Structure 1
């Protein structure tokens, strides 16, 4: 199952990028539905109390393990965050290497993984989750679900349980950096395909298929954003737009200066303005 989603040579195509002295990303090529170039990105964050948090794990290559040592030292991996119910296939690989790591995941992911029993060798359905974020709590979105004291000290958290993929969005407080998965894309995925031979790419510029081109238009953050806004309004937030807006308001209240998405380019300038442009229809509806 997951073999079709994983590069056959992850160590050869992974791009390692130090965003700050405390945050390093691991970017890899990834085709959604076998056609759409969205790329994938893992974010490794140094925790102030020692060790690292790994958000959206990708393949655990020797270079990835070296980043953990560089940022986390002897403490290693403290937390593995599955940012939604789609980004999870490498949790078992990382947990096997770092057995004391604590998995944080959205509600429903454990059941989804259990359904793969005997079907996917990459997924250990017996992996234990440390914290499962609860869907549809009675509390307002501005009251985050507590994970543990060391986690809560370093990270703000908003759980978009109404999003189709159930998104876990983090703010790294020491440096005011937003880390997210599918809440907002920033295509095209240039960095994530940087080390891929153009001749082997299924959707490379110049001969990209129509679906790939349309999706990249829909998931960009520059130029005419009408399709990006339609996607957010009619698809991402359709199940509970009021609660979705509450989550956006909390995130917008954070003083972030950069956005690290799982798909597409990291936004290192004017991040708050970009965020507001993408969700302009939602913010207008709150006035």
Structure 2
């Protein structure tokens, strides 16, 4: 459907990882912006204490993934589209799990309704808005395990999610952790192929002082409303997370809070 962005044969290149000792499964795939910039893509399935599961930023629903969900005996109860960009495969998941509730930002339903390929699966059951951006009551089963923070002034309207039992932060475009080695593990050329990819690696890296990503966020992403960003990021900083699962780039299994504080220190310290 989207040949310049997503792999034509996701079953062949998807890397599925079950996090040790946790009810978390990551589905990592190649994903190239403009067909050239290798940033990777990732969907995450979390099995909740209730026995149901939630999927964050769903990627291709392959037969292998369907088999895993069946083996878990944990049907998908919630589908979280974390911003206006991470919804390409939402319709496939909704069709497979019609009772699942869709959670997304304002504007997502309207965007999907304008596209003939997605308008029939466009309903968003809970919509994040500026008025309810601070951990609203979505659904009791969801709120029992997750906390949320919405950044309406993010260019993509970002919803950040915290899974309390596993101390895991899930985010789509809040920050990147390139290179996307996990997501290009099965793809020819690897995670750093191409001039455009090499050009942007320093911008979206968390290594060292990460100064380029800090500047990119401060001046470009948050330039229109830094006060709102400061408020949201300080609320996120109060969450007790250790792991960070980004949609773009490698999972940070330990030390995720330290990386977060490094990237957003200008917001957290009053900048």
1:208 alignment partner, one of 169, 194, 198: 194
CA distance in 1, matches of 2:120, 2:33: 23
- Report the equivalent of 2:18: 18
- Report the equivalent of 1:270: 255
CA contact (8 A) 1:24 1:67 kept: no
Structure 1: give runs of 5+ residues left out of the alignment. none
Aligned residues: 270
Secondary structure of the residue aligned to 1:79 is strand
Secondary structure of the residue aligned to 1:83 is coil
Give the CA deviation at 1:154: 0.7
Aligned: 1:111 with 2:110: yes
- Report the equivalent of 1:132: 127
CA contact (8 A) 1:47 1:53 kept: yes
Superposed, which structure 2 residues align to 1:117-266 within 5 Å? Answer: 117=116, 120=117, 123-134=118-129, 136-137=130-131, 143-198=134-189, 205=192, 208-209=194-195, 211-266=196-251
- Report the equivalent of 1:62: 63
CA distance in 2, matches of 1:39, 1:253: 28
CA distance in 2, matches of 1:7, 1:116: 21
CA distance in 2, matches of 1:53, 1:270: 24
Give the CA deviation at 1:66: 2.1
Give the CA deviation at 1:224: 3.6
Ranges of 4+ aligned residues in structure 1 off by more than 3 Å: 124-127
Deviations 1:61-117 (A, max 9, x none): 01111222233x1x5110000010000010001111111111001000111111212
Deviations 1:177-224 (A, max 9, x none): 1111100110000000001122xx6xx54x521x32222110111124
- Report the equivalent of 2:81: 82
CA contact (8 A) 1:29 1:40 kept: yes
Cα RMSD (Å): 1.6
CA contact (8 A) 1:39 1:192 kept: yes
Q: TM-score, normalised by structure 1?
A: 0.90
CA distance in 1, matches of 2:80, 2:70: 18
Deviations 1:117-169 (A, max 9, x none): 2xx3xx244432211111x22x6x5x422111000001010011110011111
Deviations 1:16-42 (A, max 9, x none): 011243001000000011111000000
Q: For the structure 1 residues 212 and 162, does the alpha-carbon distance in structure 2 shift closer, same or farther, using more than 3 Å as the test?
A: same
CA contact (8 A) 2:28 2:40 kept: yes
